[in-house]
């Protein structure tokens, strides 16, 4: 059953889990949705076959993943279902409630992703504050890329904020860095 006191998806919590890296969070949410799109069928099949070990393991896994990704209601539903498995038997209503919560969570993630994509597409081009700032940001970013250093999301946003590139180029640059394709990122900056 959906716990109305808990959010389906706490995007602020999830974003904090990835140090503000929206792109990485988006990739993880994509993986979650892909992995758990058919989970309900798998769960029902395991229960029908009386394969409690698989069922318990799968519910335990989704409990951990959902908790780490800010899917608070699903995390609680997973905990409840897991606790029910530890006791005697699980009622069909318990499983149905869990499935409903999972489906609502997947819908909430899809809505979040759609609104995030719309916001990225409508964002204004990031402009430079001065040519000295732009030159400095470009050199620092290039230097970090050439040394193949990890660049924090905060540092990258600050440097990209000083670059006078089109929004398309900035998005391509962000994608290349997120994908660790530093050669491509360097070519976009040069």
Per-residue pLDDT reduced to its tens digit, 121-176? 544 444 433 566 777 778 888 888 888 877 777 777 777 777 887 888 888 888 88
What does the pLDDT read at residue 20? 85
- Please indicate, yes or no, whether the overall pTM of this predicted structure exceeds 0.85: no
Q: How confident is the model at residue 75 (pLDDT cuts 50, 70, 90)?
A: very high
Query: Is residue 59 predicted with pLDDT exceeding 80?
Result: yes
What does the pLDDT read at residue 4? 62
What does the pLDDT read at residue 131? 66
Comparison of pLDDT for 157 and 105, the residue scoring more: 105
What does the pLDDT read at residue 120? 57
The b-or-e profile of 45-79 (16+ CB within 10 A means b, else e) is ebbeeeeeeebeebbeebbebbbebbbbbbbbbbe
């Amino acid at each position: 059953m959906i716990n109305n006191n808990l959010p389906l998806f706490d995007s602020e919590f999830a974003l904090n889990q990835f140090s503000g890296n929206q792109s990485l969070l988006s990739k993880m949410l994509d993986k979650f949705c892909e992995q758990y799109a058919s989970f309900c069928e798998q769960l029902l099949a395991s229960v029908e076959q009386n394969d409690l070990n698989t069922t318990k393991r799968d519910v335990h896994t989704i409990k951990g993943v959902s908790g780490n990704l800010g899917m608070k209601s699903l995390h609680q539903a997973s905990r409840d279902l897991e606790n029910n498995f530890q006791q005697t038997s699980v009622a069909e209503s318990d499983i149905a409630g869990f499935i409903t919560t999972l489906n609502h969570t997947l819908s909430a993630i899809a809505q979040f992703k759609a609104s995030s994509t719309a916001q990225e597409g409508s964002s204004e081009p990031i402009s430079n504050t001065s040519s000295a700032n732009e030159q400095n940001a470009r050199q620092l970013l290039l230097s970090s890329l050439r040394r193949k250093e990890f660049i924090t999301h905060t540092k990258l946003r600050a440097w990209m904020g000083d670059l006078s590139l089109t929004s398309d180029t900035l998005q391509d640059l962000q994608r290349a860095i997120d994908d660790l394709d530093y050669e491509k990122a360097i070519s976009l900056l040069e």
